[in-house]
């Protein structure tokens, strides 16, 4: 909760790319407890990412929106957003994100009972993790593949993959991961009829999960242990664990888990001959399974209802539910073989109304996807046109300055030539040579400036001393000496970068004073933040800009020096740290200078 509170406070003060990252961080932090809020914040992030033309931001927002629907059991919407994210990651060539997206998509197909598609995406993710030698994620892929094989009744293959996953988890001392593997191995032994060994593994898993305090996986273990006791016909123990599972799933609003628990409780109540209560739980399960599109769970509920009515000698109802079970089982099988609308029409030719409804639904999904893509393309085009106009205006200024400076040199050259013709004064030839070299240098500098503007059309002009003066308003008790002036190309994130550097000098350097010197060097502006604190050890200097690195007692670096460095480099600049004399540290930033005139 502290993390969420901090992110909400941070959101009030940041802009641009930092705001985009904060919105997505906040959305992701909330998906366990408030998935509807996750969608709200991630949708805001998506809008901002489109304004900033941040493809990574757009893809991450799509992914988190998908997670919010996944968590709420809306698998069709989750799949749509996961596929959008995957498409962008593939265009970017980001293997890590591609593999993670394929894993998410595989999980959705598994929930929908489409095991062939689930296995396809999980195997593709596994291949990428193997190529990257990413053991943690490779272990997760082994686990996911094992689950699919288990659901396809390929128990030997399932056990092979779960043991592979467990080996990595134990090797890396991943307790939660080990507990998940214990859980899945227990399921396989249960299917193979080795109930004592299955129970042993499930109890191992439960012990670790309780120690860690992971409520969702604890609930899953309750279900699995209940299943073992159910197989052993120990109905009282089975019921006890199923009720614990139901309460745990309800606490975290896990609809898939709630549905599973209701079915299991209904089956045990049938055995205990409490038929009214059994019917109540099974009807709840059937309704929720249908709502979330979990066809496997829907089949289980229908089959349990059929058996319940058969026991009660209500054979008409028993036959009705049996037929529905058979039809849905066939539907799941056929969907694994094909997703084409034509095949769907052939399958349901005797159910015209349902068939037409489904076809229109699929068409609407296609239209919605096309509409979303069109909106993205229009936004990208408008953004590109704005950037082009801005670049053209900047280039006009640069070309105007170039013409002015070169013409001035040509006037001097012409005058020197006239004087030389009249007096043969050799000094005039030196002046001509100097002016020619100066003009060539001017042209080269303008060519570099023109190339920079074309590559960084999303940046604006900022007067460095104004940015600094605005930033130091947050530090009234600190002494600042500021000298120099310069205009550079940047965006609003420059304020956070400077604030981060000053904040680090106070928190980690314990400085009471900071000198900020602004120098202009050729086409660059150099900004030096020199503090008079305890300095930075050489071994820390080597890592201070690394992602996730922290130092000092607080281990806290604001937006992080890693992000500060990434931001500066996106501007086409550099940042380094060195010792200040006589003591302290200096951060030296070099940014591209806006050329208003040539000295």
Q: Is the pLDDT of residue 177 over 90?
A: no
Bridge partners, 588 (sequence order): 528, 576
Q: Is the pLDDT of residue 525 over 50?
A: yes
Among the listed residues 204, 266, 267, the one whose alpha carbon sits nearest the alpha carbon of residue 231:
267
- The pLDDT value recorded for residue 384 is 57
Q: Is the pLDDT of residue 592 over 90?
A: no
Q: Is the pLDDT of residue 354 over 80?
A: no
Residue range 544-573: mean pLDDT, rounded? 71
pLDDT interval class at 387 (50, 70, 90): low
Mean pLDDT lowest among 74-78, 259-263, 442-446, 541-545: 442-446
- In this predicted model, which residue has the larger pLDDT, 221 or 349? 221
Residue range 446-467: mean pLDDT, rounded? 70
Q: Distance between CA atoms of 578 and 509, rounded to whole angstroms?
A: 13
In degrees and rounded to multiples of 5, residue 305 shows phi and psi of -65, -40
- The pLDDT value recorded for residue 338 is 45
Q: Is the pLDDT of residue 346 over 50?
A: no
- The pLDDT value recorded for residue 556 is 47
- CATH architecture, range 460-592: 2-Layer Sandwich (3.30)
Q: Distance between CA atoms of 233 and 520, rounded to whole angstroms?
A: 83
Residue range 223-233: mean pLDDT, rounded? 88
Contact 549, 565 (CB under 8 A): no
- In this predicted model, which residue has the larger pLDDT, 20 or 552? 20
- CATH architecture, range 254-339: Alpha Horseshoe (1.25)
Mean pLDDT lowest among 110-119, 267-276, 351-360, 531-540: 351-360
- In this predicted model, which residue has the larger pLDDT, 117 or 438? 117
SS3 of residue 70 by DSSP: helix
- The pLDDT value recorded for residue 413 is 79
Which pair of structure tokens corresponds to residue 333? 């099988």
Residue range 132-149: mean pLDDT, rounded? 90
Q: Is the pLDDT of residue 465 over 70?
A: yes
CA distances from 186 to 111, 196, 223, 297, 487 (A): 20, 9, 12, 20, 66
Residue range 565-571: mean pLDDT, rounded? 85
Residue range 212-240: mean pLDDT, rounded? 86
- The pLDDT value recorded for residue 341 is 40
Q: Is the pLDDT of residue 82 over 70?
A: yes
Tokens 């092979």, residue?
160
Residue range 334-356: mean pLDDT, rounded? 47
CA distances from 429 to 83, 227, 416, 441 (A): 69, 99, 7, 18
Q: How high is the mean pLDDT of the chain? A: 82
- In this predicted model, which residue has the larger pLDDT, 13 or 379? 13
- In this predicted model, which residue has the larger pLDDT, 594 or 107? 107
Helix axes 215-231, 255-271, angle to 10 degrees: 20
Among the listed residues 45, 564, 560, 102, the one whose alpha carbon sits nearest the alpha carbon of residue 94:
102
Q: Is the pLDDT of residue 57 over 90?
A: yes
DSSP 336-354: HH---HHHHHHHTTT-HHH
Q: Distance between CA atoms of 395 and 376, rounded to whole angstroms?
A: 28
- The pLDDT value recorded for residue 527 is 95
| Extents of the domains making up the chain | 254-339, 366-455, 460-592
Contact 44, 23 (CB under 8 A): yes
Q: Is the pLDDT of residue 380 over 90?
A: no
Contact 390, 457 (CB under 8 A): yes
pLDDT interval class at 340 (50, 70, 90): very low
pLDDT interval class at 456 (50, 70, 90): low
């Amino acid at each position: 909760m502290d993390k969420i509170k901090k992110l909400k406070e941070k959101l009030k003060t940041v802009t641009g790319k930092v705001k985009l990252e904060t919105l997505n961080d906040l959305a992701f932090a909330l998906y366990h407890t408030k998935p509807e809020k996750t969608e709200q914040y991630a949708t805001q992030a998506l809008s901002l990412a489109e304004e900033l033309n941040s493809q990574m931001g757009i893809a991450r927002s799509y992914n988190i929106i998908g997670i919010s629907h996944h968590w709420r059991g809306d698998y069709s919407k989750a799949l749509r957003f996961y596929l959008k994210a995957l498409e962008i990651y593939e265009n970017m060539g980001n293997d890590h994100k591609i593999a993670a997206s394929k894993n998410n998509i595989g999980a959705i197909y598994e929930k929908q009972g489409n095991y062939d598609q689930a296995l396809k995406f999980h195997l593709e993710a596994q291949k990428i993790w193997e190529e990257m030698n990413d053991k943690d994620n490779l272990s997760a892929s082994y686990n996911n593949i094992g689950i699919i094989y288990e659901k396809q009744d390929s128990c030997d293959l399932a056990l092979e993959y779960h043991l592979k996953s467990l080996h990595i988890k134990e090797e890396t001392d991943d307790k939660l991961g080990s507990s998940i593997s214990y859980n899945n191995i227990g399921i396989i032994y249960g299917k193979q009829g080795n109930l004592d060994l299955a129970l042993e593994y499930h109890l191992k898993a439960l012990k670790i999960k309780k120690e860690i305090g992971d409520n969702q996986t604890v609930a899953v273990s309750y279900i699995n242990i209940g299943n073992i006791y159910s197989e052993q016909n120990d109905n009282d123990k089975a019921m006890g664990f199923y009720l614990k599972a139901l309460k745990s799933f309800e606490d975290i609003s896990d609809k898939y888990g709630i549905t599973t628990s209701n079915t299991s409780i209904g089956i045990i109540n049938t055995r205990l001959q409490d038929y009214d209560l059994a019917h109540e739980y099974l009807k709840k399960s059937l309704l929720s399974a249908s709502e979330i599109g979990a066809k496997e769970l829907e089949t289980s509920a229908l089959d349990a209802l059929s058996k319940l009515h058969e026991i009660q000698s209500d054979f008409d109802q028993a036959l009705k539910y049996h037929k529905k079970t058979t039809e849905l089982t066939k539907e799941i099988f056929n969907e694994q073989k094909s997703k084409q609308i034509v095949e769907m029409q052939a399958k349901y030719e005797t159910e015209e109304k349902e068939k037409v409804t489904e076809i229109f639904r699929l068409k609407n999904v296609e239209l919605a996807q096309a509409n979303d893509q069109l909106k993205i393309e229009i936004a990208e085009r408008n953004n590109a046109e704005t950037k082009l106009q801005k670049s053209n205006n900047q280039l006009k200024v640069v070309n105007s300055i170039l013409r002015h400076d070169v013409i001035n040199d040509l006037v001097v050259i012409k005058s020197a030539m006239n004087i030389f013709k009249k007096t043969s004064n050799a000094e005039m030839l030196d002046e001509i040579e100097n002016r020619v070299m100066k003009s060539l240098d001017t042209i080269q500098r303008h060519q570099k400036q023109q190339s920079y503007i074309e590559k960084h059309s999303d940046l604006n002009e900022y007067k460095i001393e104004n940015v600094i003066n605005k930033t130091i308003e947050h530090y009234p008790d600190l002494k600042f000496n500021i000298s120099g002036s310069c205009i550079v190309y940047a965006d609003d994130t420059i304020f956070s970068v400077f604030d981060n550097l000053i904040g680090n000098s106070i928190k980690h350097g314990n400085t009471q004073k900071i000198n900020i010197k602004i120098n202009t060097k050729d086409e660059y502006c150099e900004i030096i933040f020199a503090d008079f604190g305890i300095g930075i050890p050489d071994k820390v200097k080597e890592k201070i800009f690394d992602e996730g690195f922290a130092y000092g007692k607080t281990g806290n670096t604001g937006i992080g020096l890693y992000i500060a460095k990434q931001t500066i480099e996106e501007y086409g600049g550099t940042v380094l740290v060195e010792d200040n004399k006589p003591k302290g540290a200096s951060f030296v930033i070099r940014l591209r200078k806006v050329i208003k005139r040539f000295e």
